[in-house]
Structure 1
Amino acid sequence: MNTDDRTAGTPLTDSEADARARQLIAEAYTPTTYRDDSPVPAYGTAEPVAQPGRPPMSQKATDISTLMLSGSVAALSVGGATSLVLYVLGTVSPVTLSIGAGGSVALVLAVGSLLKAAGGAAASLPAEHHHHYNGPVRQTNTTVTTTTSTKAVFARTNVKGGKR
């Protein structure tokens, strides 16, 4: 039935209204997509296709990527808190603000230096040696400490000292 032939404001008869309602319902429930539920083969000749989400990468790269994402979230929260404090303390002198902002950085650097020194002190302890001999023995112990400076194209090894 074509509704264009009707004049505006003319009510539909019951049979026309019923036919129009059935037409609208049939159009509303017409399937617009199809899903193939047949099982996918385990392997085939098709080339691999990149899937949505993170690109394929090694486990180490994935771990580093996750670490960087976590660090960026932490930096965002610290930066937001610092911005809020600076906004609230807008009338404070610049010297006070620089001391307050630099204090946390100095604290982090000091703690890192302390942990590095503590780790270095534990690693520099001499190893304990026990020697048991039967008969005459001549023992020579030589320690050589070197520093290799590889900051240029050519490397040079400096012997700081030999001890016998």
Structure 2
Amino acid sequence: MYPDATPQDAVMSDAEAATEARRIIADAYRPTAYRDPSPVPVRGDTPPVAQPGRPPMSQGATDASVLMLAGGVTTTMVGGTAAVLMYVSQFADPLVCGLVFGAPTALVLALAQLLKGAKPAPDVHHHYDGPVYQDQRNIQTRTTGVWAKTNNEQ
């Protein structure tokens, strides 16, 4: 009850109380946001805008850049560890440190080459409508010499 209200103002009929209760409940459950369900146009006059962060590039380029960043960080950590070890010990042999810290890198590179060659060949599906002549040939290409000469053999 408000300080300036009189006792007669506080009395409501049952119908007024029910109406006020419905209004309060409706206000409490009113949505606070609205999403327009109409579809966004596929093509418009406004050119695309690059978003903040990494520049737009293909998925392959994104994967390669992440790999390069991770490789750079890993190389920095391994090199920094070797440098600190040689400095702190004062008698560490650089050749031994190079072998110890370089061996995991060589192992990872060898495993990466091994896994790269182990990828399965992609499935090829052709759908034709009408008569088709299909010629699949394997051509061996070899380029040699200072002045490049390419020999294609079937």
What range is the shorter-chain TM-score in?
Answer: 0.3 to 0.5
Structure number with higher relative contact order (C-alpha < 8 Å, ≥ 6 residues apart): 1
Larger Rg: 1
Q: Could you state the TM-score of these two structures normalised by the residue count of structure 1?
A: 0.40
Q: Could you state the TM-score of these two structures normalised by the residue count of structure 2?
A: 0.42
